[in-house]
Chains A and B, each alone.
Chain A
């Protein structure tokens, strides 16, 4: 009897429909990680910032074209842990087409929400993204 049960278990293991626990990130998160939006450097950018988290070395670079007080185009580059890469990608979607004022009002919490939540020890990724945005808009 036991061997029958075991056989069933083994069959289900090789059955591709057998569910296993997926990695602990949301599907939106993984989608942005696999397919970053607005990746790259923007030629002719007139607002650029490149910020680094001195603790872990994560780095985010934003290049924007700002015209008539509005963000007309945005690109980003990032190095670091997945939340940093994903926060960059989602940030570009949030600010594309926004006025400077609207973009400046964006908070770390807004970004964390847009990502679908982050564990608190990963909030630094959202902080770096907002900081880089503010730096870009300041120059």
Chain B
């Protein structure tokens, strides 16, 4: 719905007077102008269909191949092991359904974790409805899967293990190489990892990780939405989910999204070149943020392992208050974050990820994710902490949960 002239005027004043700080880089990242330029050029200049034999087509084919090499290099893979998809969700669907449908003759058991992204857990739930058995491994208070639990869950009819590389809500890094060692010598057992949050943020090498399938997404790497990739180790059989064309080595039919692929290639190249500096930058901001929050705000719980986690992400529960109210208060101050509260996701249950850490509902509902990026500054952090401290204080003044003078209402103490 378009804004009225007066609303627009108010909003312009708001935008001009308020600083805007984007701290939601785990949801998506702003597009890097270098990537936007490469993509814009491709939209106009590289319009050929890569399946065409003529020069226009071959120009597109060559551009795709260059991008494929860059994406493969990001994880130390070979270029013919990369399948471009429309994004992380499609890659996860193709990996899990594709693998399970191709290997159901060997067994119908899948091992996964309790903190997967919905594009993994949702596919697992659907497989379960079709008669597959799913073992969902717990995570402990630090948000990390135990390798021993994986070993114990293995059965002769297990065909797939799918455990994410780094969690999207709390950033905890899972023991993928250890799980990889566990499955390396096993026949008829494959290992998938959803690396959407990790690829381009952590140095990754597919041989060290030991997985057969790995999911990536470009829009977490300062590229636009609509493009992702699945690494498929040579020799792994997948049942295609898109049929009706020979593209992507029969794994994903459909005319290639050439501009998207070129943007992903550029994003992968930049991420590889700048990985160390970005990671140091994000970590410094994140650590500054967490230490300021600890100084300024009482009754906070930092969620997830302190060490084994992504450098750009901080997940904090604020006691006595609920996340979406805090999110909107921050938004009014121009600070963009995410919450694990149920209200903002349209369900009644608060975040399954935070719940999986074994915390109570109040902490799960009061959890906020702050995720930093390469263009954030120290001034952004300081501004966000100031806005956060005020918003938390305001909401706590309103909350009955921290009022010890209200004990006369037994059974209603929250």
Interface residues of A (CB under 8 A from B): 2-3, 5-6, 9-10, 16-20, 22-23, 25, 27, 30, 33-34, 36, 39-41, 48, 50-52, 55-57, 59, 61, 77-82, 85, 121
Contacts and interface: CB of A to CB of B under 8 A. Distances in A.
Interface string B378-414: 0000000000000000110111110101100100101
Contacts of A61: 400, 406, 409, 412
A5 B37 CA distance: 10
A23 B332 CA distance: 9
Interface of B: 3, 7-8, 10-12, 15-16, 20, 33, 36-37, 40-41, 43-44, 320-322, 324-325, 328-329, 331-332, 341-343, 346, 348, 361-362, 365, 394-395, 397-401, 403, 405-406, 409, 412, 414
Nearest to B329: A34
28 contacts: A2-B40, A16-B12, A17-B12, A17-B16, A20-B15, A22-B11, A23-B331, A33-B329, A36-B394, A36-B398, A39-B397, A40-B397, A41-B405, A50-B412, A51-B412, A56-B342, A56-B343, A56-B348, A57-B362, A59-B401, A59-B412, A61-B400, A77-B403, A78-B399, A79-B398, A79-B401, A81-B343, A85-B395
Contacts of A19: 3, 8, 11-12, 15
B262 to A, nearest CB: 13
A102 to B, nearest CB: 25
Contact of B400 (A16, A50, A55): A50
A79 B399 contact: yes
Contact of B409 (A30, A50, A80, A85): A50
Contact of A77 (B15, B329, B398): B398
In the A-B complex, the 9 residue pairs with the smallest Cβ-Cβ separation, listed nearest first, are: A81-B343, A77-B400, A50-B409, A50-B412, A16-B15, A16-B16, A6-B40, A61-B400, A82-B325
A57 B361 contact: yes
A17 B20 CA distance: 12
A79 B320 contact: yes
Contacts of A48: 409
Contacts of A52: 412, 414
Contacts of B394: 34, 36
Given A34-B394, A82-B343, A2 B328 contact: no
Given A33-B325, A77-B399, 7 more contacts: A2-B41, A3-B41, A19-B11, A30-B332, A34-B394, A81-B324, A81-B341
Contacts of B33: 6, 10
A122 B324 CA distance: 13
Given A10-B36, A19-B3, A22-B11, A79 B403 contact: no
Contacts of B341: 81
A36 B348 CA distance: 24
Contacts of A23: 328, 331
A16 B334 CA distance: 12
Given A10-B33, A59-B401, A82 B16 contact: no
A36 B398 CA distance: 8
Nearest to B349: A56
Nearest to B321: A79
B157 to A, nearest CB: 39
A17 B321 contact: no
Contacts of B343: 56, 80-82
Contacts of A121: 346
A139 B191 CA distance: 62
For B8, B37, B43, B398, the residue with the greatest tally of chain A CB atoms inside 10 Å of its CB is: B398
A101 B398 CA distance: 27
B400 A78 contact: yes
Nearest to B399: A79
A77 B40 CA distance: 52
B264 to A, nearest CB: 18
A27 B3 CA distance: 12
Contacts of A57: 361-362, 365, 414
For A27, A48, A79, A81, the residue with the greatest tally of chain B CB atoms inside 10 Å of its CB is: A79
B15 A18 contact: yes
B365 to A, nearest CB: 7
A52 B398 CA distance: 15
B360 to A, nearest CB: 10
A33 B324 CA distance: 11
A91 to B, nearest CB: 13
A22 B2 CA distance: 11
A77 to B, nearest CB: 4
Nearest to A80: B322
